[in-house]
Structures are given as C-alpha cells and as structure tokens.
Structure 1
Amino acid sequence: MRIYTNQLAQHLSKLVPVYVVLGDEPLQKAQTLDTLRATCLKQGFDERICLSQEQSFNWQQLETAGQNLSLFSQKQLIELELSNLKIGQEGSKTLVSFLAQQSPDSILIIHGPKAPAETQKAKWFKQLEQAGLYIVVNQPEGRHFQQTIERQAKVRGLNFESEALTKFCLMFEGNLLAADQELEKLSLQIGHYVIDSKVLKQRVTNQAQYNLFELQDCFLAGHTEKALTILARLREQEMEPQLLFWAFSRELNLLLSLNESKLRGQPTHKIYQQARVWQSRQQLFEQALQRLDLATLLQCQSLLASVEQQIKHEFNTPWHLFSELLIKLTVNHKD
C-alpha cells in the first residue's frame, strides 16, 4: 500500500511486516523513520539490526539477519539503507526470498532515495509494497509546504501573523530542512510572542532553493510575484544564463505552437505528445493560453531574441529582460 508522510499516523495502530521509506526530502524522511522506530520499540521490537548498502555489503547479511533472532529478544527490527535502488538480480532475489520466509516477529524497514517509475514496476518493489507500506517522501510545495510549516511552527509554540507566515514560506520554499532549523531558532529567541513581518525581516535570512522547472511551472500558472521571487533567487545562486534562456525558449515555442493549433481549430494532443509534456503539466499550458494572446506571445519571442543577443555577443546576463519576460508571461492579456 502506498501512502504519504502526512498519512503515517493513521496507519500505526497495527504494524505491518515491511515499511519502505523513499524520497529526497531529508527532514520528513528522518521524522518518519524516528516515528517508525519509536512505534516498533513500544510494541516490543527491541532488537535493532542496521544494514547499509555499501561496497562491503553482501545481500546474504539480510537473509542471515532475518533468520537469527537473539536469545535476549523475541522481536526484531531490521533496517536496510539503500544508497541507490539498482539492486540487481541478487538483491531482487534476496528481498523476494526474505518476504516469503519473514518471521512474524520481525519488521523490515527499507529507506533510500526517490524511486523512479521503472523501479516501482519491478517485481521486488511491487512485492514489498503489497507486503506492507510504501511511504513516499516528497518535497512539499505550494500550500502543502505552508501547511507543513504551520504544523512545525505549532509544535514549537510559534505564533505567526498570516502575512508573516506567507513570507516565511516564500523565503524557505524548496528547503524544508532549513525552514525547520529556522523555526527552532525562532522558538528559542522569541518563544510565544507573535511573529510579524518586521520581526521576520530582522531575524530570518532567505534560504529558498529553486530550480528552473519550478520557474517554468510558476510563469505558466501566472504567479507573477512568486516567479519574480524565484528569478531573484536563481540570480543569487548564479544560475547559468543559457539555462534560463533555454527554460523560457522551450515553453514559449510550445505556447506558440499550441496557440496556432487552437486558432486553426486543430486538436493539441499531438503537440503535447511530440514535446513529451506529461498530462499533469498540460493543464499549466492551457492556463497560460487562456490569458496570453498571439500578439503577447510574439512580443515575448522578440524579447527573448534580445536576451539571446546579450548573452551570446555581449557576455551579459540581462536580468531586467528576464524580469520583463516573466511579467508579460504571467499577466492576463485577454481581459
């Protein structure tokens, strides 16, 4: 069964034989593992064996661990940390064999990086998911990020004004671990006093980490303020201008193709298919087309040509032009 980290509490009343905790967000992963360990210990699984997929690791170690219960313990917790999910035939066979012979007095926790789609289709992965819980550890975004921050702040007794909370989330979006550390610091410095925008400005440093994909999604969705915030952070992170140009160019060319297809009354599914745009992102392009007319798209194309000129021939990153592009792409031009 597949669940997300915020659903774990609903599934702890009865332990299952296997827990698979995978994802790239370190704070939620650590909290999830701590919760599982504490729950197992409370229910009598007091012997803990830790295995790690390193150079010296042998899959036989997992089989041996599953067969050897300590004389001093009746229940056993086995943890296996995978540095990557390419476990090969030996790993696959061992895991399938372990599940077939697993003692009811043992629980297996596997944790590691995010599982790509091809891994989730593998026989060993499907059997693990069927035998227990696959807990997905995603980096929270948007309102999910704010909800997570609200929960973490509440645990520490922090009281944010609404505007200050929104600003705090913008400052740390994409970096939950740094946000949690900042909340811990605020709880020690401020305690139960109300945190407003003034306090935030005085005491908190912007730690948001963004990437080009977030910028693309943001300007397609029409979020002007957030798009400009991401652009500013990418500038601070010394993002390569050619990569920024590519991000704008790809999406703009696709928007022009889609616009032309719609004007001709032709279906757009083939364009999405050729550009390999997942269905989940197609809605973002449709939102953009609802507010951008052909004249605006052509203006943006001309502006992008000026950007390319400055990058190639003047060896300059035209941040002001990137900002102008974002504003044009996010504002509604059809009202």
Structure 2
Amino acid sequence: MELRPEQLVAQLGLDRPEPASLHPAYLIAGPEPLRVLEAADAVRAAARRAGIAEREVFEAEGNQREPDWNALSATFRAPSLFASRRLVELRLPSGKPGKEGAEVITDFCADPPHDVTLLITAGEWSKQHGGKWSEAIGRIGQVAIAWQIKPHELTDWIEKRLRARGLRADHDAVQSLAERVEGNLLAAAQEIDKLALLSDGQSLDRERMAELVADAARYDVFRLVDATMNGQGVQVSRMLAGLRAEGEAVPGLLGMIVMELQRAAALARVQARGGNLVSEFKAQRIWDSKQPMYKRALARHASPRWDAFVAEAGRVDRIAKGRPRYGEEPVDAWLALERLLLAVAEPRATRLLVG
C-alpha cells in the first residue's frame, strides 16, 4: 500500500519509548524534496534506535549515470564487518534504476538478507516510474510517495507544521505565510523554524506574522536565490556576506540553491528542444509571479550550462563538508559558493568556476 511520507513517519514511532520493528526495504520518492528528506531522515533515526550503526550509500559518481550495481549486489551478499545490521541507502534522483538496477533490487526483495535494511530515495516520480522492482519493495516493505502539495492544500500543511512546532496562528496569518513561500515547502519549513525561535508564545495574527518574518529575513536564502536568478550580482555578494556574518552554514543554504538550479536546468532542457515552457512551469510548480525571474535566467545561460551549475553545487557541498575529491583545489566553501552564484547571475563571471 502506498503511504504518504507523514504516515510512514508516524508508523516509525520515533516519539514512542520502544523502537519500531523495521521492514527490510523502504522506497521514498516524489517531487517534494522536503517531504522525501524528512521521511528518509525518520527511517535513518529509526535505524539508529534499532541499533543499526553501519550505513552505506550508493549513488552515481562522477561521469556515471547510474550507481555501481555490481558493488551494490556484492554488498547485499557480503556479511557486515563492523556491525550485526546495516542500513544500505540507494539514491536514484531520476527514480529509474534501469534494467540492471531493477534486477538487483528485485533479487534483494526476493530474499532480503537478515542484516540489511534497504532505503531507496528518488527525486522524480510518476505513475510511469513504478514497475516490478517497486512492487517488490511494496511486498516486503513500505513505499511512500511525496506528491506535490496543491495550492489549496498549502495552508493546511502550514497550519499542521506550526502546531507541531508549538505555534498558533489565525487563518489570515497562515494565509500570509502561504503567500510568501509561494508553494515552496522548504521555504515554509525554514520560516516556521524561525518563527518558533522568535515567537513569544502568543497566537500569531497577520500583522505579527509579517513582523516576525521580516525581522528574520534580512539576508535569507530565499532573497539570495531571487537575486541570483534575477542577475543581481552585487546583491548576491552582499547577501552572502550577511548570511556568513549571521552564522549560517554553507550546507544549510545549498538545499534551496540546488533545488532552484535543478528547476532551471529542467526548464532549460525543455526550452532547448522547443518544448512547452508554460507546461514545464506548471509541472515544476513555479507560480506566475516567479516565472519572469526564471525567463531572465534562461536568457543568460543555455541548457548545458545549467547542468554544469548543478554539478558545481555538488562540488561546493563536498568542500563545505570537508570531502573534496582527489585533485580538487582546496578553497573556502563560502568563496566557492559566491563564485557559483555570481556565475549564475552574470555570464561573464563563469570564468571564475573551476573547469
């Protein structure tokens, strides 16, 4: 049975004293990155509570289009060297493992090793993505799909999340926050986390909501992304300096930045092949008020460049986490991020990028 991510999280029972029994496999996929991320984090937390200390991650590396399926299959068969149980993660951004990958997953589900819990996450999903491999997971485990939150569902989602953070807000306040984030769940979640820190415990009305959001957003990542996509290089540098001074961390900014770069890359590919950009805006859930910003960005860079920007964001993330690849130039993560965003904002700045 297909679950919502929130249903899966509830079943894992992280708020209960006894750890939940884990299924052999989990598939969490969908176009809402925040809901996928939080459900996957819940599985990881449940694994830790169950005493699973060893974790392996498989994903495409470098120029590879797919993970190393032979290595994954060998991992399933090999006994753990360091722990009695393992969490094996498989990351499939496209949601398609291909023929070889589907066979590896199906074979695992046919006879799941007693010491392995498999967690598969995917950033894309539709009714056409499923197949025998995902059905096999459903038979032995759980499948949770993070479908997009529709505009009329957003206020209810925000209200529930506010309550979960111990906040109360009237309908107008919730609506004002929904208008600000324009359907972006990650933006809404970050705003709510800020409100939890700034609120005095009183119920929020529209005026108080606007006041707190404004106080918390002098140099927020949403304005940084807007400045980048709108080609405002000077503002990008100033905002990055402000974020750094306020104690923000580069990895905390990259989630939103990568998501917007991936959106732009998808739009650019559609535009390059003469496709329907209006339909792609709708598919990407980009509101009308934001579309001119993306059109300006697409006018500055052609399709291949956007894919390069996404790859560069991955390099920045590795630098920020202290895991540069062999041969990569040692560089400050903030400087690397600034170079990337300036290149997006101003084509002449692309010469700042490595490679």
Equivalent residue number for residue 4 of structure 2: 4
Aligned residue type for 2:146: V
Equivalences for residues 186-225 of structure 1 within 5 A: 186-204=195-213
> Percent of counterpart pairs with the same letter?
27
For 1:34 and 1:183, locate their aligned partners in 2 and report how far apart those are by CA, in whole Å. Answer: 19
Equivalences for residues 13-162 of structure 1 within 5 A: 13-54=20-61, 55-56=63-64, 57-120=67-130, 122-162=131-171
SS in 2 for 1:139: coil
Q: 1:178 aligns with which of 167, 187, 200?
A: 187
1:119 to 1:238, Cα distance in 2 relative to 1, 3 A = closer
SS in 1 for 2:22: coil
Q: Is 1:49–1:79's contact at 8 Å kept on the other side of the alignment?
A: yes
For 2:280 and 2:155, locate their aligned partners in 1 and report how far apart those are by CA, in whole Å. Answer: 16
Q: 2:177 aligns with which of 142, 156, 168?
A: 168
Could you tell me the TM-score, scaled by structure 1's length?
A: 0.59
Aligned residue type for 1:88: G
What are the Cα deviations for residues 166-222 of structure 1, in whole angstroms up to 9, with x where unaligned? 22223324101011111122222233233221123334369799x967999xxxxxx
Q: Is 1:139–1:174's contact at 8 Å kept on the other side of the alignment?
A: no
Q: How many positions carry a matched residue from both structures?
A: 226
1:173 to 1:139, Cα distance in 2 relative to 1, 3 A = farther
Aligned residue type for 1:155: A
For 1:80 and 1:214, locate their aligned partners in 2 and report how far apart those are by CA, in whole Å. Answer: 28
Alignment RMSD, CA only?
3.1
Aligned residue type for 2:125: A
Aligned residue type for 1:201: A
For 1:213 and 1:91, locate their aligned partners in 2 and report how far apart those are by CA, in whole Å. Answer: 31
Give the drift of 1:49: 1.0
For 2:145 and 2:43, locate their aligned partners in 1 and report how far apart those are by CA, in whole Å. Answer: 14
For 2:182 and 2:139, locate their aligned partners in 1 and report how far apart those are by CA, in whole Å. Answer: 34
SS in 1 for 2:128: helix
SS in 2 for 1:180: helix
What are the Cα deviations for residues 49-102 of structure 1, in whole angstroms up to 9, with x where unaligned? 111133453101111111223243111111011122332221122112222232
1:10 to 1:235, Cα distance in 2 relative to 1, 3 A = closer
Could you tell me the TM-score, scaled by structure 2's length?
A: 0.56
For 2:152 and 2:93, locate their aligned partners in 1 and report how far apart those are by CA, in whole Å. Answer: 31
What are the Cα deviations for residues 98-147 of structure 1, in whole angstroms up to 9, with x where unaligned? 22232122110000122232221x22222222221111012222453223
For 2:128 and 2:280, locate their aligned partners in 1 and report how far apart those are by CA, in whole Å. Answer: 24
1:185 to 1:117, Cα distance in 2 relative to 1, 3 A = same
What are the Cα deviations for residues 240-280 of structure 1, in whole angstroms up to 9, with x where unaligned? 9xxxxxxxxxxxxxxxxxxxxxxxxxxxxxxxxxxxxxxxx
1:70 to 1:238, Cα distance in 2 relative to 1, 3 A = closer
SS in 1 for 2:121: strand
